[in-house]
């Protein structure tokens, strides 16, 4: 039995990259427009270029998926809906989305538009996948952290639903879970949730260890080791294990790289195409030459990733974050401008190859002018500097590979030539007109009918008239096009004369008519488009600005990570307390007397096996706790509501609410938390569109914002005593607390503490009732004292002097001073009047 071969999905960050992907054997491409895409620094496509791109790909039997995978602010909703209607009208095969509000609107208002859940949606367990499927997603791009067994579990859970799965096969890996990373946003205002990530993970960081003070801050931290690229991952390459990967229940394999060149796209796509075809034929054996090509195209070092069972230490590349090329060996010795290199590879450097020699102090490149001397496993190479023993040698460019890819890009339609057979009937009328009918068969063996009429006319023959052989000979000159003639029926040609240009014009008319027949079959009917446009206009016409009234009864919600912190917060007057669950959570019976005031926070990342342990914990303690849960996904909320009927579900900012549609999708929740990336104006916009079904809104008012959550076991890189804590320090001397779960999973917090102490009056005037103090991992002193301070702030009419005194105390207790996070600039990056 032939194995199932997933669709090969290639990146296209520019029109030239699109052509490269098509030429190299992609089954589908994904690309972005100039707005709402998660790669804002790629060349991307204008609206006209998008339409041309879809026509170009569709004529070659290749699907086009467009990324609209960023968070969407309230003011952008009309624009993004108009954009989605445009994409639907021009025949896009699917749209990738991140924002759950946009997902719900698109599913309801443009039912014919295929939706894919972007990896930015962070789907990593069954509840998340079922939510995406129930809300219209035809495909789910899973989190890159999942194992093969987890993928099978999710596939089984989705069985019977009209949805399939997609995974990444090659390219850059993010350090943290996609869609949950705020690192770039917090550090420099370039949000990964808006496609503007500055890649701070590729920078150097240093470990420091210190003893927490009574406010949970690291006091007098000491350097533990020299700076390294602690957060930098290797690149993913499933090529060596591709024959195993295709056995997973996935419909598509994705190559990352919309920021990459057409040459990169061509090399990587053609390599995977060749491998998948060989697997289909039962002849696949990983080739060193192919692996070298992938490495030379771009490589930070390769890993087969979590999906193949690699550990986090095998995924990380902490020694160097840039392109390395293909490793061939290490320097044995240096003598008079030459190095002797021990080869660790079957690939031998040749004339024209570009090399880099890298040791602990420097790196230099060179181009081989002649084939080097080789003696067994030792090769002698020229060296531009005195390289130390052990220096690494890489091939960074190959002349042969360069020629091959130039040829591919110079003849992009070579593999498609003549792939559409046409049969037609041509009639020469008594008036000298030429017209007819035809049908063309596409690559899926579907036939499409068309008619044609030539703009040219024939003349009465003075000597020799047209013959059918002459006409067929001229029409069959389709070399270099996508079409070929399989049958030509001709009538009425006798007695007429036509110069070659007339027959050439007739051929163009037939080919153009056949092309349009294919393309028109792949776009919605005009009547359907009109209905969709009306539906969107009707929806937008219902939007009414309805500002809420100022609140006078604010609630303080405190999140904690231990029982002692929970007790301290409750005693200090917290209205609600959520205790973060972990597998080692101590006995909680003592909290049962406060069951109306506390609940459990579900970790934002909770894998399937952890979810089972969590449900077991709740079931065993159901008489000790209230069924009140704080979650980070709608799917998890729905799952817990089914498991524990009557539960009160709310969401934290890991489920980023950036617009009223996302808020409405949480209508069954007690409250939902606004994204900390929103500006004051963006918050106003969300609140102005509420209706009776919308849940209450909460906002994080104080605490360390989680910058990254990663499967990396960063704490395993060092030894941390029980009374000592870990931070990492960047090149600007900012320190970021590191929290490690029992599983080893790493959470990196911001270097400054989020606080909206200066914005409370404004927020209360906006109608925000619920304020969240995030006191996790800060100890009971912080939980108690910060709770007392915020209770005063929220429930007292303070004089300016008293307010200033409380502010001073809050700043003094905060980690690294205070910041308003996104409140000043917002998701759009535009500063408000507050900053």
The confidence band for 666, taking pLDDT boundaries of 50, 70 and 90, is: very high
Q: Please provide the average confidence, as pLDDT, over all residues in the chain.
A: 92
With a cut of 70, say whether residue 41 has pLDDT above it.
no
How far is the C-alpha of 35 from the C-alpha of 736, rounded, in Å?
Answer: 32
Tell whether the model's pLDDT for residue 829 goes beyond 70. Answer: no
pLDDT in tens, 407-453: 999 999 999 999 999 999 999 999 999 999 999 999 888 999 999 99
Distance CA 351, CA 464 (A): 61
Higher pLDDT, 589 or 686: 686
Interval 551-570 mean pLDDT: 92
β-bridge mates for residue 631, sequence order: 651
When pLDDT is cut at 50, 70 and 90, the band that residue 812 belongs to is very high
Q: Quick one: pLDDT at residue 595?
A: 61
Quick check: 39 pLDDT over 70? Answer: no
**How big is the CA angle at 764 (ends 658 and 99), to the nearest 5 degrees?**
5
Q: What is the average per-residue pLDDT within 454-471?
A: 92
Tell me the average pLDDT across 520-543.
92
pLDDT at 345 over 60: yes
Return the percentage of the chain with pLDDT > 90, whole number.
Answer: 79
pLDDT tens digit string along 156-200?
999 999 999 999 999 999 999 999 999 999 988 888 888 888 899
Tens of pLDDT along 272-326?
999 999 999 999 999 999 999 999 999 999 999 999 999 999 999 999 899 999 9
Q: 105 in helix, strand or coil? A: helix
What the block records as the tokens of 396 is 């960074």
Contact call for residues 284 and 217 (beta carbons, < 8 A): no
For each of the domains in the chain, give its residue range(s) and CATH number, in order of start. Answer: 7-173+233-301 (3.20.20.70), 325-410 (2.40.10.170), 418-520 (no CATH), 555-705+765-823 (3.20.20.380)
Hey, is 149 helix, strand or coil?
Answer: helix
Bridge-based pairing of strands 326-335 and 252-255 is unpaired
Classify the phi-psi angles of 787: left when phi > 0, otherwise alpha if psi is within -120 to 50, otherwise beta: alpha
Question: Who contacts 65 (Cβ-Cβ below 8 Å, separation ≥6)?
Answer: 9, 28, 29, 30, 31, 92, 93, 94, 95, 96, 116
Contacts of 432 (CB under 8 A, 6+ apart): 457, 458, 459, 460, 496
Please state the pTM of the whole predicted model. 0.94
**On the CB side of 150, how many CA atoms lie within 13 Å of its CA?**
25
The pLDDT tens digits for 672-682 are: 999 999 999 99
Q: Is the pLDDT of residue 220 over 80?
A: no
Alpha helices in 543-589 (DSSP H): 563-571
In the predicted model, is pLDDT for residue 831 greater than 80? Answer: no
- Residue 691 has a pLDDT of 74
pLDDT of residue 795: 84
The helix (run of H) or strand (run of E) holding residue 685 is helix 680-687
* pLDDT score for 626: 61
pLDDT band at 223 (very low <50, low <70, confident <90, very high): confident
Question: What is the C-alpha to C-alpha distance for residues 159 and 162, in angstroms, rounded to an integer?
Answer: 8
CA distance 822 to 699: 12
Determine the average pLDDT of the residues in 695-710. 96
Quick one: pLDDT band at residue 544, thresholds 50, 70, 90? confident
- Cβ neighbours around 157 below 10 Å, total: 16
Please, is 830 exposed, middle or buried when counting C-beta atoms within 10 Å of its C-beta (0-12, 13-18, 19+)? exposed
- Say if CB 123 and CB 69 are below 8 A apart: no
Q: What pLDDT is stored for residue 631 in this prediction?
A: 97
Look at residue 835 in the predicted model and tell me its pLDDT: 31
Strand-pair partners of 580? 601
């Amino acid at each position: 039995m032939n194995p199932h071969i997933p669709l090969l999905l290639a990146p296209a960050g520019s029109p030239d990259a699109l052509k490269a992907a098509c030429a190299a054997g992609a089954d589908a491409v994904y690309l972005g427009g100039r707005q709402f895409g998660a790669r804002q620094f790629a060349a991307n496509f204008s609206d006209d270029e998008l339409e041309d791109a879809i026509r170009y790909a569709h004529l070659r039997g290749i699907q086009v998926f467009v990324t609209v995978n960023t968070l969407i602010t309230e003011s952008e909703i009309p624009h993004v809906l108009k954009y989605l209607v445009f994409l639907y009208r021009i025949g896009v095969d699917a749209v990738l989305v991140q924002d759950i509000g946009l997902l719900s609107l698109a599913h309801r208002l443009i039912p014919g538009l295929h939706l894919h859940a972007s990896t930015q949606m962070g789907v990593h367990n069954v509840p998340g996948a079922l939510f995406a499927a129930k809300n219209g997603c035809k495909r789910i791009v899973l989190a890159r952290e999942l194992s093969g067994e987890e993928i099978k579990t999710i596939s089984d859970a989705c069985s019977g639903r009209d949805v399939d799965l997609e995974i990444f096969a090659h390219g850059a890996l993010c350090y943290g879970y996609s869609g949950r990373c705020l690192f770039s946003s917090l550090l420099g205002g370039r949000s990964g949730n808006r496609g503007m990530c500055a890649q701070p993970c590729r920078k150097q960081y240093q470990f420091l260890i210190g003893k927490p003070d009574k406010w949970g801050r690291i006091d007098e931290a000491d350097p533990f080791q020299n700076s390294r690229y602690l957060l930098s991952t290797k690149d993913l390459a499933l090529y060596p294990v591709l024959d195993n990967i295709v056995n997973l229940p996935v419909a598509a394999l994705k190559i990352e790289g919309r920021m990459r060149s057409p040459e990169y796209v061509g090399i990587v796509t053609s390599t995977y195409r060749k491998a998948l075809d060989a697997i289909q034929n039962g002849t696949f054996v990983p080739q060193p030459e192919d692996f070298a090509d992938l490495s030379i195209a771009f490589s930070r070092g390769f890993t087969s990733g979590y999906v193949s069972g690699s550990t986090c230490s095998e995924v990380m590349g902490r020694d160097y974050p840039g392109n390395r090329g293909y490793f061939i060996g290490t320097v044995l010795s240096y003598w008079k401008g030459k190095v002797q290199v021990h080869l660790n590879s079957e690939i031998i450097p040749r004339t024209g190859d570009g090399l880099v020699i890298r040791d602990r102090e420097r790196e230099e490149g060179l181009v081989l002018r002649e084939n080097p001397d080789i003696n067994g496993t030792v090769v002698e190479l020229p060296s531009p500097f005195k390289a130390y023993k052990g220096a690494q040698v890489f091939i960074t460019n190959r002349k042969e590979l360069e020629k091959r890819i130039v040829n591919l890009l110079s003849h992009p339609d070579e593999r498609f030539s003549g792939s559409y057979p046409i049969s037609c009937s041509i009639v020469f009328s008594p008036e000298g007109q030429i017209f007819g009918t035809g049908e063309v068969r596409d690559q899926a063996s579907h036939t499409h009918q068309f008619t044609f009429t030539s703009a040219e006319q024939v003349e009465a023959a003075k000597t020799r008239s047209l013959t059918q052989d002459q006409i067929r000979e001229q029409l069959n000159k389709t070399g270099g096009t996508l079409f070929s003639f399989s049958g030509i029926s001709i009538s009425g040609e006798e007695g007429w004369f036509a110069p070659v240009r007339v027959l050439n014009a007739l051929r163009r008319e037939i080919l153009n008519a056949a092309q349009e027949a294919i393309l028109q079959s792949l776009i919605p009917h005009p009547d359907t488009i009109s209905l969709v446009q009306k539906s969107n206009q009707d929806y937008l016409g219902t939007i009414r600005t309805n500002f809420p009234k100022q609140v006078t009864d604010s609630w303080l919600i405190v999140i904690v990570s231990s029982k002692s912190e929970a007790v301290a917060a409750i005693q200090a007057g917290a209205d609600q307390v959520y205790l973060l669950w972990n597998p080692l959570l101590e006995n909680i019976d003592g909290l049962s007397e406060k069951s109306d005031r506390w609940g459990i926070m579900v970790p934002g990342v909770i894998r399937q096996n952890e979810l089972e342990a969590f449900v077991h914990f709740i079931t065993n303690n159901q008489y000790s706790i209230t069924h009140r849960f704080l979650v980070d996904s709608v799917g998890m909320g729905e799952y817990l509501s089914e498991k524990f009927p009557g539960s009160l579900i709310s969401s934290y900012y890991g489920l980023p609410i950036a617009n009223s549609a996302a808020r409405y999708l949480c209508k069954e929740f007690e409250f939902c938390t606004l994204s900390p990336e929103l500006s004051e104006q963006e918050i106003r916009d969300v609140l102005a569109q509420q209706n009776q079904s919308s849940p209450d809104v909460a906002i994080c008012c104080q605490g360390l914002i989680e910058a990254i959550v990663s499967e990396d076991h960063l704490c395993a890189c060092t030894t941390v005593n029980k009374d000592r804590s870990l931070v990492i320090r960047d090149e600007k001397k900012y320190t970021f607390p590191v929290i490690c779960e029992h599983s080893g999973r790493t959470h990196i917090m911001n270097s400054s503490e989020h606080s909206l102490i200066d914005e409370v009056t404004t927020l209360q005037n906006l109608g925000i009732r619920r304020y969240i103090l995030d006191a996790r991992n800060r100890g009971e002193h912080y939980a108690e004292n910060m709770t007392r301070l915020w209770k005063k702030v929220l429930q007292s009419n303070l004089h300016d002097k008293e307010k200033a005194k409380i502010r001073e105390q809050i700043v003094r207790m905060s980690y690294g001073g205070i910041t308003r996070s996104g409140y000043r600039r917002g998701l759009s990056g535009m500063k408000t009047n507050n900053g």
